[in-house]
Amino acid sequence: MTVVVSRLSGHLGAEIQGVDLASELSNAAFAQILDAFNAHSLVVFRDQTLDPAQQVAFSRRFGPAIEHLLEGFRMAENPEVFVVSNLTEDGTPKGKPKGAIYAGQYWHSDLSYMAEPAMASMLHAKRVPSAGGDTMFAAMHAAYDALSDPMKAFLSGLTACHDYTHAYETVFSKLPNRPPMTDEQKAKVPPVDHPVVRRHPATGRPALFVNPGFTRRINGLAEDESRAILDFLFTHTTRHEFVHRHHWRPGDVVMWDNRALMHRAVADYDMSEARHMHRTTIAGDAPVAAG
């Protein structure tokens, strides 16, 4: 097996060829994949045919695969698989959704609202629309590097509150087919504080660690000050030069580093066409402040 790594954009992303993820990878091949993942923050494998159990097995090579909070969208026989889909059980627009229909249609970092946010996420495309439905990724290392020295000094040592309910208040409350969180679900994800600038545990690089989906406020600042700084950072991190846009093909497996990126699904496709994907999530560690 010859692993070939090809860079996709200036600040993030690489396509990996010569790998069949359904087969048992050698330790040497996996080490090359892990090196590419740490170097590029996102890796793309084309033309893969993984069943859910195989996807979970590959995910576990990187660390424990964890179950999503929303049990209604977890796959019964493989609960580590979270279904992202606009399909319904009876095939009608008003039928019971097979998966999270509006998942990720806002900038966020997966599970940043947890005390130990996700290290990585992996999405396997089963069916995709004929046009649209891309996913955008923003390079948070590069965004931090581009800040002025006074801004870096100001952000150093600050923490921010991350809260899953923030997404429900600002995004999901406006969308159909996404019921509100139950009190039991809310109790499982109390707000947590994380450094605004975190250090990557594998590379040592500093990265911004705030996102519009789950970051409620910067601690220690007045509300209007916090809002102004967060709005600036959200605009700054999503500048064109920091963003890579992935155009999905059936069989794609895309894995990204939540410690170094945030992402957003683009809802620009015909909802009468199927978009059906399987997601696994890999456990991470508590963020450590940089500097």
DSSP bridge pairs for 204: none
* Residues 287 and 159 sit within 8 Å (Cβ to Cβ): no
Choose the catalytic residue: 11, 108, 124, 246.
108
CA separation for the pair 81, 68 (Å, rounded) = 8
CA separation for the pair 278, 230 (Å, rounded) = 31
Element (DSSP H or E) covering residue 84: strand 82-85
* 68 annotated active-site: no
Q: Quick one: 291 exposed, middle or buried, by C-beta within 10 A (0-12, 13-18, 19+)?
A: exposed
* 236 annotated active-site: no
Element (DSSP H or E) covering residue 168: helix 164-170
Q: How far apart are the first and last CA of the chain?
A: 40
Which among 143, 115, 116 is positioned nearest to 11, based on CA atoms?
A: 143
DSSP bridge pairs for 193: 161
* 217 annotated active-site: no
Greatest Cα-to-Cα distance within the chain, rounded to the nearest angstrom:
56
* 275 annotated active-site: no
Choose the catalytic residue: 40, 68, 110, 166.
110
CA separation for the pair 245, 8 (Å, rounded) = 10
Choose the catalytic residue: 11, 216, 263, 275.
263
Encoded tokens for 227: 């809002």
- Which residues form the catalytic set? 108, 110, 263, 279
